[in-house]
Amino acid sequence: MLKPEQMSRLLIVASKDQMAPVISELYRHHLFHIEDFVEAGAKDYEGFKIGTPLSGASEASSDLVKIRAIQNAFSINSEDFEAKQRHNQSALQVKIERELPAIEHEVEELTGKRSKLDAQVKEYEQKIAEISPFIGIPGDLDLYRGYSNFVIFAGYVTKEVSISVPHEMSFTKGKGKNFLVVIAPSERRNEVEGVLQEAGYQAVTIPDESGIPQDRIIFYNEQVTRIKKEIEEITHKLDAIKEKHAGFLVACEEILKVQVEKTEAPLRFATTNETFVAEGWVPSGSVETIRQGLVKATGGKIFVTELAISEHDIVPVEYNNPSFAKPSQLLMDTYSRPKYTELDPTIMISVVFPIFFGLILGDVGYGILLLVLCLGLQKFVKGEEGRQLLVVLRNASLSSIFFGVLYSEFLGFPCPWVYILPSRHLNIGGEGGHGPNIPGLMMVAIWIGIIHITLGRVLGMVNHARQDHGDHRIKAVLANAGWILVMWGILVLIWSMVQMPYMPDLTTLPPVVMNLNAAAVVGALMLVVGALFIARDSGLELVELPTIISHTLSYSRLVAVGLSSVAIAMVVNYIAIGMLIEPQLENITITGVIFILLGVVVFIGGHLMNMVLGILGGSLHSVRLHYVEFFTKFYKGGGKKYSPLGLTRRFTEDL
Amino acid sequence: MKASQIGMKAIAAALAVGLTGIAAAVAEMAIGSAAVGATAENKDVFGLVLLLTVIPETIVIFGLVVALLLIF
C-alpha cells in the first residue's frame, strides 16, 4: 500500500534468430520495462552493439505516417474514439495493403482540391475588399488607369482637404476616415501630395479591374458563394469517407504502432554478431509467467535470469494502490512520482484531500451540484487523466455534502438541523443568530495542521530510516524527531500561558521556576532538545524553525477560504432574496416582476460563480496543503515511470 | 466597547485584508504571466503552474485570518 510495486531485474539472452518471438512474447505480456542499452562510445570499442530493427520496420513506419496524415485531415483522435468492434489483425493487414493506398489517394485529392478552393475564396474576398471603397464613386474602374498627363490619388484621409491645383475630386465621408479620389495634372503632383499628406493620407491600391465597382462586387460575391458550395460538397464527401473508414483507420494505426514498436525494440537491446541481450524490469510477481512464456515461445533456446538490484539502480516505479486510491495518483504525478525506495503517500492524499475539500467547501447545495456535474461529465470526458480527475472531484463533492451536513449549510442558508462543527454562519443581512465561531473554527484547522505535519515528520523518519545509511541515518531520523519535539514544545509552551478553545488548558498548573509552571518547563525542554537534534544533522536547518509556525498557521486557510465562499453565498442570497425578491412579493406590480426576475438571475449567476470559485479554491488549496506543507516534510519524488513494452489494444485483436 | 474602538477594529481588519490582498495580487501577477508563458511552451505543466500561482495566496489568507480574529 505505502510502497510502490516490487520490481525484479531481468536479463534475457538468446541467439539473434529468436529475437522476433522473444519480442512478440514480451509485447504480449505488456510487463517488461526495457532498460535501454547505451553503447560505450569509446574508440576501438569491441563489445556489445546496439541492435538493428527487425525487417519491415521502415515499411510499417511509413504506413503509420500515412495513416496519421489521413487521421489529421479528418481530425480523428484515436484516444477519443469509441471502439465499436474489434478488427481481426490478419484480415486488417490484408486490408491495409489493398485499401490504404486508394483511401490515401482519394483523401489527398479531396483535401488538395479543398485547400485550392479555400485559397481562391481568400483571393476573391481580398478583391472585394479592394473594390469596396470605390463603391460610392460612379464610373468605370477602367477610368482610374492609363493616363500619361494625369495622376490619380486614392486613399483615406482624416479630414476634408481643399486643393488649389485644378483637379477633380470625389470625397466620401466615413466613420473616422474618409475616402477620397483625386485626379490632378502630373506636373503638379508634389503640391497635391503635400496637401494630402497634411490630411493624414493613406493610399489604397487601385484595383486591377474593369467595370462598375458595384457589378464587380456582385460578380465576386457570386463566385465566392459558388466556391463555398463546392467546398461544402467536398467536406461532405470527406465526412462520408470519414464515417466509412474511421474505425478502420484507428485500427490500422493501432496495428502499425504495435508493429513499429515491435520491430524497433532491438534498438534498445545489446547485441553481438550472433546473440542479443535484453535487460529490463518486471513486477516481481510476474517473473515466473514471463520466464515460462519466453521458454515456450523459443522452444527453450533462451537464458532468462534475475539480477540482484544494486543501490544505484534506478528502478521504474509503478503504483500499487487499492482501487479507491488509484484516481489520486493523478495528484501524485502532478507533483512527482515517488522514488522506488520511498513511501508512496497516494493513499493518504486520497483520504485527506476530500476531507480538506469538504472542510473548505462544506455546503450541501454546492456538493450536490458538483456531484451532478461530475456524474454528468463522466459520459463526455475521455482519456485516463480526465476520468481520474472526475473521480477525485466526485469524492470531494461527497465529502462536501458530508461536511455541509456537519456545518448545516445549503447554498449559504442554514439547514433546519443544528451544526456539529463550529458555526460558519456569518451575520450578513442582519438576521442575527449566533454568528460564526471563528476562534473555534481556527482551532479545528490548527489541530488538523498539527496532526498532518506530525504525520509528515513521522513519515520522514521512516523514509530516512529506509533510505539512508550509517551515521547519517540516525542523525536524519533524529532530526525529524527533533522537528516534532520543537513543534509540540512550542504548543505546550503556548498552552501553559494562554487559554484557548479546543486546546488543553495548562495555565492552572502551579509555577515551578521563574513564574513558569511545570508544563512551560517541559515545553521549553522539548524545544531545546528538538533544536539540538536538528542542529546535529545540519545547523543551517535551524534557520527554518519559524516555518513550524507559518506552516501550522497555513492550515487556517481551511477556515479562511471556506468562510470567504460562505460570505459570497450569503451576500448573493441577501442581494437576490432580501433586496430584490422579497420586498416585491408584498404587492406584485409589473416592475416588481422585473425585479423578481432580476433577483432570480442574480441568485443563479452568483451561486454559479461562487461554486466555480469554491471548486477551484477548495481543490487548489487542499492540493497545496499537501504539496507545500505535507510533502516537504518527507517526500522527494522523482521516480522513473514504469512503462512496459506493449500496448493495451482497443480496436484490434490478435488471432 | 466604545463605538470608536469598534470602528478602529473595523478599519484595522479592512487594512489587513486589503493590503494583503494587494500584496498577493502583485505576487501572483508575476507568477501568473510566467505560468501562462510556460503553459504555452508545454501544456503538461498546467497543473503545476496553476498550483504555483496560488502559492502567494497564503499572504491574503493570513490577512483574512487576522481580520477575522480582530472582528470576532
Give this complex's ipTM: 0.78
Residue A432 has a pLDDT of: 55
Query: What is the Cα–Cα distance from A530 to A524, expressed in whole angstroms?
Result: 10
Q: What percent of chain A has pLDDT over 90?
A: 32
Q: For residue B20, name the pLDDT band (cuts at 50, 70, 90).
A: very high
Contact status, residue A412 vs residue A603, Cβ threshold 8 Å: no
Nearest chain A residue to B46 by CA: give it.
Answer: A334
B50 to A435: CB separation less than 8 angstroms, yes or no? no
Average pLDDT score over residue span B14-20: 94
B55 to A563: CB separation less than 8 angstroms, yes or no? no
pTM: 0.77
Q: End-to-end alpha-carbon separation of chain B, Å?
A: 13
Contact status, residue A554 vs residue A546, Cβ threshold 8 Å: no
Reported as type and span, the H/E element at residue A303 is strand A302-307
Q: How far is A541 from chain B (nearest CA, A)?
A: 22
Residue A434 has a pLDDT of: 64
With a cut of 60, say whether residue A566 has pLDDT above it: yes
Q: How far is B69 from chain A (nearest CA, A)?
A: 7
How far CA A615 is from CA of A216, A412, A505, A612, A626, in Å, comes to: 57, 15, 37, 5, 17
Q: What is the DSSP letter of A231?
A: H
B65 to A623: CB separation less than 8 angstroms, yes or no? no
Residue A366 has a pLDDT of: 94
Q: How far is A472 from chain B (nearest CA, A)?
A: 32
A563 to B48: CB separation less than 8 angstroms, yes or no? no
Round the average pLDDT of chain B to a whole number and report it: 87
With a cut of 90, say whether residue A527 has pLDDT above it: yes
Q: CB-based burial of residue A174 (10 Å sphere; 0-12 exposed, 13-18 middle, 19+ buried)?
A: exposed
A620 to B51: CB separation less than 8 angstroms, yes or no? yes
Query: What is the Cα–Cα distance from B32 to B22, expressed in whole angstroms?
Result: 15
- Closest residue to A564, CB basis, from B64, B69, B72: B64
Residues 8-67 on B with a CB inside 8 Å of A are: 47-48, 50-51, 54-55, 57-58, 61-62, 64-65
With a cut of 70, say whether residue A430 has pLDDT above it: no
Query: What is the Cα–Cα distance from A7 to A317, expressed in whole angstroms?
Result: 8
Average pLDDT score over residue span A206-232: 88
Nearest chain A residue to B71 by CA: give it.
Answer: A438
- Closest residue to A556, CB basis, from B48, B50, B65: B65
Q: For residue A145, name the pLDDT band (cuts at 50, 70, 90).
A: confident
- The SS3 call for residue A243 is helix
Query: What is the Cα–Cα distance from A71 to A53, expressed in whole angstroms?
Result: 26
What b/e readout covers A531-569, taking b as 16+ CB neighbours within 10 angstroms? bebbeebeeeeeeebeebeebbbbbbbbbbbbbbbbbbb
A620 to B50: CB separation less than 8 angstroms, yes or no? yes
Contact status, residue A628 vs residue A620, Cβ threshold 8 Å: no
Residue A238 has a pLDDT of: 85
Q: For residue A83, name the pLDDT band (cuts at 50, 70, 90).
A: low
Q: How far is A539 from chain B (nearest CA, A)?
A: 27
A243-247, A513-517, A524-528, A634-638 — which one is most confidently predicted on average? A524-528
Kindly state the cell numbers that stand for A231: 467546398
A435 to B72: CB separation less than 8 angstroms, yes or no? yes
Contact status, residue A404 vs residue A421, Cβ threshold 8 Å: no
Query: What is the Cα–Cα distance from A148 to A65, expressed in whole angstroms?
Result: 59
Nearest chain A residue to B47 by CA: give it.
Answer: A334
- ∠ at Cα A67 (A66, A72), nearest 5°? 100
B61 to A557: CB separation less than 8 angstroms, yes or no? yes
With a cut of 60, say whether residue A655 has pLDDT above it: no
With a cut of 60, say whether residue A469 has pLDDT above it: yes
Give the least confident one: A36-45, A48-57, A164-173, A537-546: A36-45
Residue A87 has a pLDDT of: 75
With a cut of 80, say whether residue A84 has pLDDT above it: no
Helix ranges (DSSP H) in A361-508: 364-377, 384-407, 438-467, 470-497
- Residues from chain B that touch A561, judged by Cβ atoms under 8 A, are 61
Place of cell 512474447: A25
Which chain A residues touch B if contact means CB-CB below 8 Å? 334-335, 435-439, 442, 553-554, 556-557, 559-561, 563-564, 620-621, 623-624, 627-628
With a cut of 90, say whether residue A584 has pLDDT above it: no
B51 to A439: CB separation less than 8 angstroms, yes or no? no
Contacts of A453 by beta carbon, 8 Å cutoff, 6+ apart: A487, A548, A551, A552, A629, A630, A633
Q: What percent of chain A has pLDDT over 70?
A: 98
Query: What is the Cα–Cα distance from A38 to A36, expressed in whole angstroms?
Result: 6
With a cut of 80, say whether residue A37 has pLDDT above it: yes
- Closest residue to B68, CB basis, from A554, A563, A624: A563
A334 to B55: CB separation less than 8 angstroms, yes or no? no
Give the least confident one: A108-117, A137-146, A640-649, B53-62: A137-146
With a cut of 90, say whether residue A256 has pLDDT above it: no
Query: What are the φ and ψ backbone dihedral angles of A156, each rounded to 5 degrees?
Result: -105, 140
With a cut of 80, say whether residue B46 has pLDDT above it: no
Residue A433 has a pLDDT of: 58
Place of cell 529506509: A466
Residue A309 has a pLDDT of: 87
B51 to A563: CB separation less than 8 angstroms, yes or no? no
With a cut of 80, say whether residue A6 has pLDDT above it: yes
Average pLDDT score over residue span B4-23: 92
Contact status, residue A369 vs residue A410, Cβ threshold 8 Å: no
Question: What pairs with residue A155 in β-bridges?
Answer: A180, A203
- The SS3 call for residue A480 is helix
Place of cell 521549553: A524
Residue A472 has a pLDDT of: 86
Contacts of A454 by beta carbon, 8 Å cutoff, 6+ apart: A484, A487, A488
- Residues from chain A that touch B72, judged by Cβ atoms under 8 A, are 435-439
Residue A458 has a pLDDT of: 95
